[in-house]
Homo-oligomer: A and B are copies of this chain.
Amino acid sequence: MASTEHSTAATSEMDEEKEAPPPQDLTLGWVRDALIRQEDSIVFALIERARFPYNAPAYDPCLLPQQGGRSLVEAFARGAEVLQAKFGRYQNPEEVSFFPDDLPAPSGIPYNFPEVFHPASASVTANNAIWNMYFNDLLPLFTVEGDDGNYTSTAAADLVCLQALSRRIHYGKYVAEVKFRDAPQDYMTAICAKDRDALMKLLTFEAVEEMVKRRVLKKAMVFGQTVTLEDKTFDDETKYKVDPAVVARLYDEWVIPLTKDIEVEYLLRRLD
């Protein structure tokens, strides 16, 4: 593939969005750019899931009795994770499995992802909480009632949402690692005292959190509008594919708190 054939227009964007750099390059600016880019992925994923109605049978453990009490969505997600693990998805420390106990080792692919995380902290996960939050709390807020029969496409869209949310929330490990490296002395006392509240306080910046919530609200408006050739402005009559207030609430109630939980749990193991 000759280099001239490749896109150059996107180069400067991609520079901001490159995947995990070696540990010595890890900076808060890099982590922040990655988190901002992932907001787009989450909003896109929610909009694509909202193409389908709720589709309750996909979540009913009685739909497929041969799956032993697993809903179609769970059986599909487990199968998809097995397939993706086989080809190496979870070799990248950014990707965290929802069902890690059943995964095969990747075969024959030479992966060289750098070890960024402190070994004792690397396995911190919030995926059970993310799974439950997504299906119990979030999904009914941004889908309409109904059943159009597209259960597999629905399950695939759910998995894309879950993976985007999981990647975003587990980026808390990068945040914690880079903050610790930048100023270990700020965190040592609280880590040694196992003082979760003190760590949470050190990691909380309300002004930043407010900005993030306003930005994801705006992204939901921009990406979820119906684009036409006519110019138009946003007003109270504008219909969005996903309610922007739900996306802001997703960040307020779940993404930001779960990310901080990951940061705290990561730091508590950072000196082990």
Contact = CB atoms under 8 A, between A and B. Distances in A.
A3 B56 CA distance: 12
Interface string A230-245: 0000000001111101
A89 B18 CA distance: 33
Given A64-B108, A229-B214, A5 B113 contact: no
Contact of A109 (B5, B37, B64, B108): B64
A102 interface: no
Nearest to A216: B227
Nearest to A89: B152
A140 interface: yes
Contacts of A215: 227-229
Interface in A111-129: 111-113
Interface string A1-16: 1010111111111100
Contact of A152 (B37, B44, B72, B84): B84
Contacts of A156: 84, 89
Contact of A37 (B51, B64, B151): B51
A99 to B, nearest CB: 14
* Chain A, interface residues (CB within 8 Å), range: 35 or more
Contacts of A41: 48, 51
Interface stretch (A23-31, A74-82, A195-203, A256-264): A74-82
A226 B226 CA distance: 18
A226 B13 contact: yes
18 contacts: A7-B143, A7-B243, A7-B246, A8-B144, A9-B240, A9-B242, A10-B50, A10-B239, A10-B242, A11-B144, A13-B50, A40-B241, A44-B47, A66-B107, A88-B151, A89-B156, A92-B150, A211-B229
Interface of A: 1, 3, 5-14, 17-19, 37, 40-41, 44, 47-48, 50-54, 56, 63-66, 72, 75-76, 79-80, 83-84, 86-89, 91-92, 95, 107-109, 111-113, 140-146, 148-153, 155-156, 160, 211, 214-215, 218-219, 222-223, 225-229, 239-243, 245-246
Given A6-B144, A17-B51, A84-B156, 20 more contacts: A6-B54, A6-B140, A7-B246, A9-B246, A10-B240, A13-B240, A19-B52, A44-B47, A63-B109, A72-B109, A76-B87, A87-B152, A87-B155, A91-B149, A92-B153, A160-B160, A211-B229, A215-B228, A222-B225, A222-B227
